[in-house]
Amino acid sequence: MPVITCIEDLRQLHKKNAPKAFYDYVDAGSYTESTYNANSSDLHALRLRQRVAVNVEHRSTEGTMLGQKVTMPTALAPVGLTGMQWADGEILAARAAEKFGVPFTLSTMSINSIEDVAEATTTPFWFQLYVMRDRDFITRLIHRAKAAKCSALVLTLDLQIIGQRHKDLKNGMTVPPKIMLSNVVDMMTKPAWGLRMLGAKRKVFGNIMGHVKGAEGIVSLSKWTASQFDPTLSWKDVEWVKKEFGGKLILKGIQDVEDAKLAVQSGADAIVVSNHGGRQLDGALSSIKALPPIVDAVGDKIEVWMDGGIRSGQDLLKALAHGAKGTMIGRAFNFGLGAMGEAGVTTALEIIQKEFDTSMALCGLHNPREITRDVILNPY
Ligand SMILES: Cc1cc2nc3c(=O)[nH]c(=O)nc-3n(C[C@H](O)[C@H](O)[C@H](O)COP(=O)(O)O)c2cc1C
């Protein structure tokens, strides 16, 4: 077993352990991947302001997100097909998040269902919603999330039309995996993944199969998305979703100041400045660059969070320094899961927390509340 020191170590292990089509699904952005790459490189380019001779003996990484106490200000982002990286992946990631003390968000496109995750955990989790043409199904899905006591609904606004990820097309990525010679040969080199998968609770989309007509059998994600996701989604629908759920609403996928203002008007409780991890509009600004003007415009009216490119505690510190009150991590926890299952998700969270704690201390800070833009020498 290699020594795991950082998220990059987990990524390499994930790549080794999981079938190529599923690993590639995670480690990809749309089209030229310019936004995917910018999310990380723009965070990397930021320089932190070191301070010395400050007593930092007593420190804490704790914070709150929507009034909920968190071990550090990050939540696990909704990631479709998490249960294909490791058998029962959503259940394992939700358990790791619960034990660590950060929120877990279950994707509409998850393998384990809302009910599976509710049964396996005791802390309420968040449910991420994609709005589809079949509004009866969406109404039922919202009510299933309510019945499972989900404490917030994360409505994703930036994927009514899917951005093309070249690798998925080249790999013939389907759920469950298509029997293609290249896939079979690849899977023979990952027998442990296959053995675990044989015992998995589910191997298809748990929130959808058996709940929607025409979604049976092998599903090409991009084709199915194109036919089911509703491109007419509008702010009126956002109001409808809010009313139907009746609890806390988080709007994910905001990139523009005008949209952030509309989000405030819609009565949402938080927004996530996000470009879907660089998987949608290729050419969009990196999240860290999109964040400051949005914080300046609406940061006193709504909780503004950010995701995209966070792979370390230093990145987390930089996001908070740019005004985010919270963050989400997608790939970082999926790399952990694909590397080592539940223990890998815990390891990913521990790595980020330790890096965050050390970096704060070296900047002379004791807790997230003390973080301001002054921590960055070259802020955006
Ligand atoms: C493989 C993968 C699948 C994703 N699936 C979803 C999804 O089902 N719903 C959603 O709202 N966002 C989805 N996202 C976007 C994440 O929630 C999040 O915005 C993104 O991963 C943040 O960037 P990061 O991976 O660099 O942390 C997905 C991201 C990845 C990498």
Domains and CATH numbers, the chain: 7-109+154-171+232-375 (3.20.20.70)
Rounded Cα gap, residues 206 and 215, in angstroms = 11
Q: What average pLDDT does this structure show over 106-117?
A: 97
DSSP 54: -
Q: Dihedral of CA 296/79/354/269: which sign? A: positive
Considering only 30-34, 39-43, 159-163, 257-261, which range has the smallest mean pLDDT?
A: 159-163
| Distance of CA 78 from the midpoint of ligand 1 (Å) | 6
Rounded Cα gap, residues 104 and 154, in angstroms = 11
**DSSP state string for 296-311:** HHHTTTSEEEEESS--
Which of the following is catalytic: 14, 166, 276, 366? 276
HSE-CB for 129 with a 13 A CA cutoff: 32
- Does the beta carbon of 363 sit less than 6 angstroms from any atom of ligand 1? no
In this structure, the residue with its CA closest to atom 20 of ligand 1 is 277
SS3 58: coil
Would you say 121 and 88 are in contact if contact means Cβ atoms under 8 Å apart? no
- Does the beta carbon of 110 sit less than 6 angstroms from any atom of ligand 1? no
SS3 154: strand
- Does the beta carbon of 310 sit less than 6 angstroms from any atom of ligand 1? yes
In this structure, the residue with its CA closest to atom 12 of ligand 1 is 78
Report the share of the chain in percent with pLDDT over 90. Answer: 87
Query: Which pairs count as long-range contacts for 259-265, CB under 8 Å and 24+ apart, including other chains?
Result: 259/157, 260/294, 260/297, 260/298, 260/302, 260/304, 261/297, 261/298, 262/235, 263/298, 263/302, 264/298, 264/301, 264/302, 265/235
- Does the beta carbon of 89 sit less than 6 angstroms from any atom of ligand 1? no
- Does the beta carbon of 80 sit less than 6 angstroms from any atom of ligand 1? yes
DSSP 65: E
- For residue 25, the model assigns a pLDDT of 96
Question: Is residue 217's pLDDT more than 70?
Answer: no
Question: Is residue 93's pLDDT more than 80?
Answer: yes
* Residue 14 a catalytic site member: no
Atom of ligand 1 nearest to the CA of 276: 19
Find all residues with CB under 8 Å of 198, minimum gap 6, and list them. none
| Distance of CA 255 from the midpoint of ligand 1 (Å) | 15
Q: Which residue has the higher pLDDT, 66 or 221?
A: 66
| Distance of CA 107 from the midpoint of ligand 1 (Å) | 9
- Does the beta carbon of 79 sit less than 6 angstroms from any atom of ligand 1? yes
Q: Cβ of 67: how many Cβ atoms within 10 Å? A: 9
- Does the beta carbon of 107 sit less than 6 angstroms from any atom of ligand 1? yes
Find all residues with CB under 8 Å of 363, minimum gap 6, and list them. 48, 49, 50, 51, 317, 375
CA gyration radius for the chain?
Answer: 20
Give the tokens for residue 232: 């007419």
Find all residues with CB under 8 Å of 372, minimum gap 6, and list them. 321
Q: What's this model's pTM, rounded to 2 decimal places?
A: 0.97
Atom of ligand 1 nearest to the CA of 252: 11
Would you say 272 and 154 are in contact if contact means Cβ atoms under 8 Å apart? yes
Q: Cβ of 192: how many Cβ atoms within 10 Å? A: 9
Atom of ligand 1 nearest to the CA of 275: 19
- For residue 218, the model assigns a pLDDT of 59
- For residue 247, the model assigns a pLDDT of 98
In this structure, the residue with its CA closest to atom 8 of ligand 1 is 80
The angle subtended at Cα 301 by Cα 296 and Cα 306, nearest 5°, is 60
172-206 confidence digits (pLDDT tens): 887 777 777 888 888 889 999 999 999 999 988 89
